[in-house]
């Protein structure tokens, strides 16, 4: 079946990298060539133990950055596979806003490569994608976080629970807002489904990009209010 699907995609889309348009890349690679993949910057230590912000230097001890010290955070930790720059940022923008669903395999592959081994070392009850408001979901026709979470779920065997969390208020785009405005924009934007109890459960919250953490923090707050014992965040990319 995969061979038939791949062949069909290669007929619809020539096996050429959809980023540089110069090198060969096939559907199973997310139509991203090796040359473009070489520009991906994976996040390595040292980084903040709460928000995952990477730092340059030779720090050998764990630390929490000053931004996290000044904030009330409801997630225990946030991690990202790669830095949100160059080809990764371009792929995410095309994926979300131009319906370029062929980038799903590329982006999910980055997330799985880093997250799956770490998640395997613990016990997690649910993978929860950050939800879109129903109006936004109708406009976009898909939730990119849910597509990524589904692939991570298959790789880790942690069940994806798409219906635990819902976005109850349509919020303005976060792109041009300050950190403070983003937090205010997301206040009370999320809630768990009525009657849902997560007593003592450990949740992995999944999204495409972590920037200031306002969105994921609002989600984690709602999950914690429903009784979750721990919420950690995993995203494909981390804004700097």
pLDDT tens for each residue of 196-206: 999 999 999 99
pTM of the model: 0.89
For the chain, the maximum distance between any two Cα atoms, rounded to a whole number of angstroms, is 53
- Domain residues for the domain of 22 are 1-38
pLDDT score, position 41: 97
Tell me: do 92 and 130 sit in the same domain: yes
Tell me: do 197 and 79 sit in the same domain: yes
What are the tens digits of pLDDT across the range 30-78?
899 999 999 999 999 899 999 999 988 777 778 899 889 888 999 999 9
Tell me: do 170 and 135 sit in the same domain: yes
- Counting the structural domains of the chain, the total is 2
Tell me: do 97 and 198 sit in the same domain: yes
Contact 206, 179 (CB under 8 A): no
Tell me: do 23 and 79 sit in the same domain: no
pLDDT score, position 173: 67
Tell me: do 124 and 30 sit in the same domain: no
Average pLDDT value for residue range 11-33: 87
| pLDDT band at residue 13 under the 50/70/90 scheme | low
Tokens of 69: 């010290």
pLDDT over 50 (residue 3) = no
What are the tens digits of pLDDT across the range 103-148?
999 999 999 999 999 999 999 999 999 999 999 999 999 999 999 9
Closest CA to 25 of 84, 112, 91, 113: 91
Find residue 16's DSSP bridge partners. Answer: 24
CATH of the domain at 191: 3.40.50.2020
Contact 17, 24 (CB under 8 A): yes
Distance from C-alpha of 33 to C-alpha of 175, rounded to nearest angstrom? 28
Rounded alpha-carbon distances, angstroms, from residue 100 to 30, 105, 125, 169 = 10, 11, 31, 26
pLDDT score, position 119: 97
| pLDDT band at residue 9 under the 50/70/90 scheme | low
Tell me: do 6 and 112 sit in the same domain: no
pLDDT score, position 44: 92
Tell me: do 34 and 48 sit in the same domain: no
pLDDT over 80 (residue 167) = yes
Tell me: do 48 and 30 sit in the same domain: no
pLDDT over 50 (residue 191) = yes
Find residue 33's DSSP bridge partners. Answer: none
* Strands annotated E in the chain: 77-83, 126-129, 165-167, 190-192, 202-210, 230-238
Tell me: do 3 and 66 sit in the same domain: no
Contact 127, 152 (CB under 8 A): yes
pLDDT score, position 28: 82
* % of the chain exceeding 90 in pLDDT: 74
Closest CA to 78 of 229, 203, 225, 183: 203
Tell me: do 61 and 153 sit in the same domain: yes
Distance from C-alpha of 177 to C-alpha of 64, rounded to nearest angstrom? 24
Tell me: do 66 and 154 sit in the same domain: yes
């Amino acid at each position: 079946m995969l061979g038939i699907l791949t062949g069909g995609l290669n007929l619809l889309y020539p096996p050429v990298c959809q980023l540089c348009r110069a090198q060969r890349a096939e559907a199973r690679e997310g139509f991203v060539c090796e040359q473009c993949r070489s520009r991906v910057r994976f996040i390595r230590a040292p980084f903040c133990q709460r928000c995952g912000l990477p730092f340059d230097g030779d720090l050998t001890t764990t630390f929490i950055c000053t931004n996290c010290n000044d904030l009330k955070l409801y997630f225990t930790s946030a991690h990202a596979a790669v830095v949100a720059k160059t080809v990764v940022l371009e792929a995410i923008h095309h994926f979300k806003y131009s319906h370029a669903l062929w980038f799903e395999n590329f982006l999910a592959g980055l997330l799985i490569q880093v997250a799956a081994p770490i998640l395997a070392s613990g016990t997690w009850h649910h993978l929860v994608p950050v939800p879109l408001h129903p109006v936004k979901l109708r406009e976009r026709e898909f939730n990119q976080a849910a597509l990524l979470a589904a692939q991570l779920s298959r790789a880790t065997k942690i069940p994806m629970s798409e219906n635990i969390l819902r976005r109850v208020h349509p919020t303005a785009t976060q792109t041009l807002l300050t950190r403070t405005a983003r937090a205010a924009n997301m206040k009370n934007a999320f809630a768990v489904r009525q009657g849902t109890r997560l007593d003592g459960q450990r949740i992995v919250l999944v999204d495409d990009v972590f920037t200031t953490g306002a969105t994921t923090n609002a989600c984690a707050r709602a999950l914690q209010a429903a009784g979750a014992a721990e919420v950690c965040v995993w995203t494909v990319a981390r804004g700097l």
